[in-house]
Amino acid sequence: MEYIKIRLLDDFGQIGSKFEKTIEDMFRSVRPGFTLAERTWKPPMDMNETPEEVIIVAEVPGVDKDDLEVEISSKAVRIKGKRYARHCTDNATYRLAELQYGDFERVLFLPSLIDPEIVSAAYQNGLLEIRLAKQPPERIHKIPIQDG
């Protein structure tokens, strides 16, 4: 017997968010500051793994280093921050408004356990690079069994 997954709430949420996005995009072409709700954006990120570490690179140009926050656990990384619109003026007529501003937050679940004590993060040229050392594999100890 095959099971069919039905997710009504997710579908309705997507329809509502698509509708809101369409209305926002329509009004933003006239007034770029227009939003129905607080704007969020998702910066693109890469994650790769070597035998020794997990490396995450987030593309966050225009975000000040002081507006970035990274939290880690042995299983996940949380990256959040904010990009401000610095070039907006009230008397300008916008012909195109595609850059995204506002808060962002991403939680990335790691492919293997890491050591939260051995982590480094660097920010240069709009790229945030986080290097996470993997935990060494558990050693299995054989215990001799003694006679009675």
**Looking at the structure, do residues 22 and 51 belong to the same domain, yes or no?**
no
Same domain, 130 and 110: yes
pLDDT less than 50: residues of the chain = 1-13, 34, 36-37
| pLDDT reported for residue 36 | 46
pLDDT for 9 equals 47
Question: Are residues 128 and 100 part of one domain?
Answer: yes
In this predicted structure, what is the pLDDT of residue 18? 65
Give yes or no for a contact between 30 and 102, defined as CB atoms under 8 angstroms apart: no
pLDDT value of residue 8: 43
Contacts of 115 (CB under 8 A, 6+ apart): 74, 132, 133, 134, 135
Per-residue pLDDT tens for 75-111? Answer: 899 999 999 887 777 787 777 878 888 999 999 999 9
Given this model, what pLDDT does residue 85 score?
Answer: 82
- Whether residue 117 sits in one domain with residue 75: yes
What domain range is 32 assigned to? Answer: 7-37
**Is residue 54 a contact partner of residue 74, using CB atoms and an 8 Å limit?**
no
Shared domain for 111 and 126, answered yes or no, is yes
Looking at residue 87, its pLDDT comes to 74
Q: How many structural domains compose the chain?
A: 2
